[in-house]
């Protein structure tokens, strides 16, 4: 099959499971490092639809959150088959990965998917903590309701205080975040989509413990799920 992936984490899942199937990936697809010469077709939000069509894919894989409906519709109008995933929590991620890899691509269920399921089934919470999770600054944005990352954190014993917000990725003034930080245990700062780091992020929340975490392990659904419980727990416990 000839496959184009419009989602970095699904790109990794396909590339690790069946090297050689991918003929097109986005500019944001960074794992694995060697994607076998697959063509770059633009970003997740602005793919070059014509370039995708010219690759003559048997299947394009997308995600309802990461990709825009007009792009999916344009590909389908051009006669391209598009499989759109929906992933808001861990069980859904595991079932959607099986749907893509086994159901759509006809592969044997990959061993790493079984290991990921086992790793999360055996996960032990790092405690009973409350936190907020910025994903951007200028303006400040945080994880809100129904997010995959929020579900992973909850399984690790970290409750997102904005999980009940009506928006999934609300903009929250820094003044609000800092004024209420005294009643929270930590601020979780992933290194993507905004690249928070030791010198960029923690200084905004003086007196509050900052957990710098791997964005790939917090937000990607793919082979990184195997080691995510350990990697995230180490960062959250530090």
Spatial contact of 94 and 114, defined as CB atoms under 8 Å apart: no
Dihedral of alpha carbons 110, 7, 68, 162, sign = positive
Domains 3-109 and 123-237 share a fold: yes
Q: pLDDT class for 36, splitting at 50, 70, 90?
A: confident
Residues 136-152 have a mean pLDDT of: 97
Residue 212 confidence class, pLDDT cut points 50, 70, 90: very high
CA 208, CA 206: separation in Å to the nearest integer? 6
CATH architecture assigned to 3-109 = 3-Layer(aba) Sandwich (3.40)
Q: What is the pLDDT of residue 37?
A: 87
60-73 tens-digit pLDDT: 999 999 999 999 99
Retrieve residue 35's tokens. Answer: 């994607």
CATH 3.40.50.1980 fits 123-237, yes or no: yes
Q: What is the DSSP letter of 181?
A: G
- The 10s digit of each residue's pLDDT in 68-119 is 999 999 999 999 999 999 999 999 999 999 999 999 999 999 999 999 999 9
Residue 19 in this model has a pLDDT that exceeds 90: no
Residue carrying the six token digits 């009506």: 166
Break the chain into its structural domains and give their ranges.
Answer: 3-109, 123-237
């Amino acid at each position: 099959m000839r496959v184009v992936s419009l989602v970095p984490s699904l790109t990794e899942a396909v590339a690790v499971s069946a090297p050689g199937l991918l003929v097109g990936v986005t500019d944001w697809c960074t794992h694995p490092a060697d994607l076998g010469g697959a063509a770059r077709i633009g970003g997740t939000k602005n793919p070059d639809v014509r370039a995708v069509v010219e690759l003559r894919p048997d299947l394009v894989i997308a995600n309802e959150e990461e990709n825009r409906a007009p792009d999916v519709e344009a590909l389908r109008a051009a006669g391209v088959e598009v499989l759109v995933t929906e992933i808001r929590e861990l069980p859904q991620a595991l079932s959607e990965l099986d749907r893509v890899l086994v159901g759509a691509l006809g592969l044997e269920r990959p061993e790493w998917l079984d290991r990921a399921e086992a790793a999360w089934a055996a996960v032990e919470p790092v405690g009973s903590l409350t936190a907020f999770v910025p994903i951007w600054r200028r303006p400040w944005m945080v994880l809100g309701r129904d997010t995959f990352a929020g579900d992973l954190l909850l399984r690790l014993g970290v409750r997102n205080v904005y999980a009940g917000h009506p928006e999934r990725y609300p903009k929250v003034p820094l003044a609000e975040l800092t004024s209420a930080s005294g009643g929270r245990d930590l601020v979780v700062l992933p290194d993507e989509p905004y690249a928070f780091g030791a010198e960029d992020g923690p200084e905004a929340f003086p007196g509050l413990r900052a957990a710098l975490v791997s964005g790939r392990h917090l937000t990607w659904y793919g082979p990184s799920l195997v080691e995510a419980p350990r990697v995230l727990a180490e960062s959250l416990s530090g």
